[in-house]
Amino acid sequence: MAYLINDASEFVDEMTEGFVAANSHLVRSVYGGVVRAQATPADRVAIIVGGGSGHYPAFSGVVGPGLAHGSAMGNVFASPSAQQIYNVCKSAAGKSGVFMSYGNYAGDVMNFNQAQEKLNSEGIPCQTVVVTDDIMSASKAEIHKRRGIAGDLTVFKIAGAASEAGYSLDDVVRVANLANDRTRTIGVAFSGCTLPGAEHPLFTVPEGIMALGLGIHGEPGLSETKIPTANDLAEDLVARLLEETPAGCTNDAARIVVLLNGLGGVKYEELFVVYRSVARILKEKGITIVEPEVGELVTSFEMAGLSLTFTWLDEELEKLWAAPAYTPAYKKGSVQITGADNSSGGNEIVEAAIPVASAHSIACAKNIERVVASIDATITENESYLGELDSYAGDGDHGIGMARGTHAALNGIKQVVSRSAGVGTALEKAGDSWADRAGGTSGAIWGIILREIGKELGNSAKPSAASVAASIVRAKNEVMSFGKAQIGDKTLVDALVPFAETLQSQVRSGENLAEAWESAATAAITAADATGALLPRIGRARPHAEKSIGHPDPGAISFAMITRDLIPLIREIA
C-alpha cells in the first residue's frame, strides 16, 4: 500500500512535480508528462514513450540522452489521454518526426492512435511500434494481442539509440519492430498491489502460492502453484522463454539481452539469487548474455513479483543495446549533456473561442450542464462498487477513472456554459475534459460519446427527441468504429447498442423523449446485467476471461447506471 500520500486524486500530479524537481538537469514538465530538459536536435527523431503511472521507472524514468525524448504520463494504471500524448509529442518534436512506443493495452492504443492521427494531419510525421512481449497474455497464433510489460525497455532503448545515431523515422521503426519481434517476457507474482488511497489490494495471492502470468497493472495471474525454490523458478522461466524463441532466431551460440525485473516487493538481493541460476542455465546452453539488467525496471507499486525478459540480438540490435544512455533511472556508458532548454513551452492549453449559438441552444446547454452533474453524482456514488467490479478480471481502476472523468467534464462544461456556449460546444467541451482527465479506455470512449452527441446537436437548432436519438446512434457508431468492439465482447458496447437502438426505435414509433429514454435505459440495464455470463474477447480483461464469469462488465454497468439515473431529469427537461 502507499503510506505517504496527500490526496489520492492528486497523487500523479504531485509525484510528477517531485520527480521533475529531483531531475531538473534531465527533464522538464509539460502538460501531459515530461520531456528532456534539452531540446531535440532538428536531425533527430523524437522518441516518445508512455502509459499509466504506477510503474516507475517506466515511463518517465527513461527520458534522457540515448533513450526517450518524452514520456506521456497517464493516471495510475490508466493510459494518458490523446491530448496529453499529443502535447508531449509536440513539445519534444524536432524536424525529423516522432516515434511512439508503448505497451499493447486498449486504452493506450486508442489514445496514442488519436494523437498520431492529429500529428500526421498537421504535417508532423509520426509512426508507432506497440510492444507485445508478454508470452502469457495470448497464444503464439494471436501474438499481436499480447500486452507489453518489462520488454518495453529493450524496445525503447534500441529505438532511442537509433535516434541518437541519426537513423531516419523509417529506420527507427524498422529496428524497434525487430526488437519487439525478438523480445519475450514472462512474469510471476507472490502478492497483489494496492492503488494509492485504496483500502484493499487489487487482488491477493494465497500465502505460499505463486501466480504465473501476471500483468503490470495488477491483473491477476493466469494460474497458481506453490512457490518454488529460486533455482526451480529460474529453470521454469528460462524453459518457457526458450520455447518461445522467435522465428528466424536460434539458440545455438545465441547472443541475448536478459532483463530480470523486480515488480516492487521482490528486492535486489532476491533477484540476484534468481539471476545466478538464470546465468548458469544459459551458459550451459551455450547462450551468451549481453549487458544484462537486474533490478526494478517496470514496477507495480508494492507487488511482490518478478519478470524475466529475453531479447535475441543481431549485430545491429546489439550495437544499439550497448550504446550509452543517461536518464534518471537508466544509465549506461558516458553521455555528454548540453545546456537545458529553459523555454516554458508545452504547458499552455489555449482556450478556444466560444462559437456563436442560438438562444434556444444556449438555454438548452444549461440543461446539459445538469445532465453532466447527474452523471457525476451517479459515478461518485458508485465509484467503489465499479472499482470492485473491475478488479475481478481487470485492474480495478474503472471507478477511479470514471470519477476523474465526470468531475472534469462537469468543470469543463461549467466553464463554457458560463460563457454562453450552445449545446454542441458544451458537450464537446465536456467530452474533451472527460477524455483528457480520465485517460484510459473509458476516458477515450466517453469523450467520443459526448463529442459526437455535441456534433450532431450543434449550436443552432433546439434539440428534439429525434435529434437526441440520432445523436446517440451517431455516438454508438463512432465508438464501435473507433474501439472495434462488437455486441458480445463484454464491453460498454453491450449496453450502448441496445440503448441507442431502443431510443431511436421508440422515438420513431411516436413516444416522447422521456418515455423513449426510460425504455432505452431499461434495455441498457438488462443488457449490462447479461454481460455477467459473457467471456471478454477484447481489452485488458481478455487474458483473465474465466475470472470475469459471473461478474458483469464495469463499463457496461456504469453506462447503464448513468442512463437509469438520468430518467427523472429527462422527464423534467424533455
Helix/strand/coil percent split, the chain, to 5: 50, 15, 35
Gap between the Cα atoms of 352 and 328, Å rounded: 36
Q: Is 217 a catalytic residue?
A: yes
Residue tagged active-site, from 55, 217, 544, 551: 217
Residue 458 neighbours by CB under 8 Å, 6+ apart: 361, 422, 423, 424
Gap between the Cα atoms of 76 and 8, Å rounded: 10
- Burial environment of residue 303 by CB neighbours within 10 A (0 to 12, 13 to 18, 19 or more): buried
Query: Which cell goes with 102?
Result: 508503448
Supply the DSSP string of 269-290, one letter for each residue: HHHHHHHHHHHHHHHHTTPEE-
- In order of 21, 191, 355, 376, 475, the CA distances from 416 in angstroms are 34, 46, 10, 17, 22
Three-state DSSP class for residue 262 = strand
- In order of 83, 86, 111, 346, 408, the CA distances from 122 in angstroms are 14, 11, 17, 17, 27
Residue 52: DSSP 8-state: E
Query: Which cell goes with 313?
Result: 540480438
Residue 437: DSSP 8-state: H
Residue with cell 440503448: 499
Query: Which cell goes with 183?
Result: 523480445
Three-state DSSP class for residue 133 = coil
Gap between the Cα atoms of 466 and 537, Å rounded: 33
Query: Which cell goes with 25?
Result: 538537469
Cβ atoms of residues 411 and 52 within 8 Å:
no
Residue with cell 437526441: 468
Q: Which residues are catalytic?
A: 217
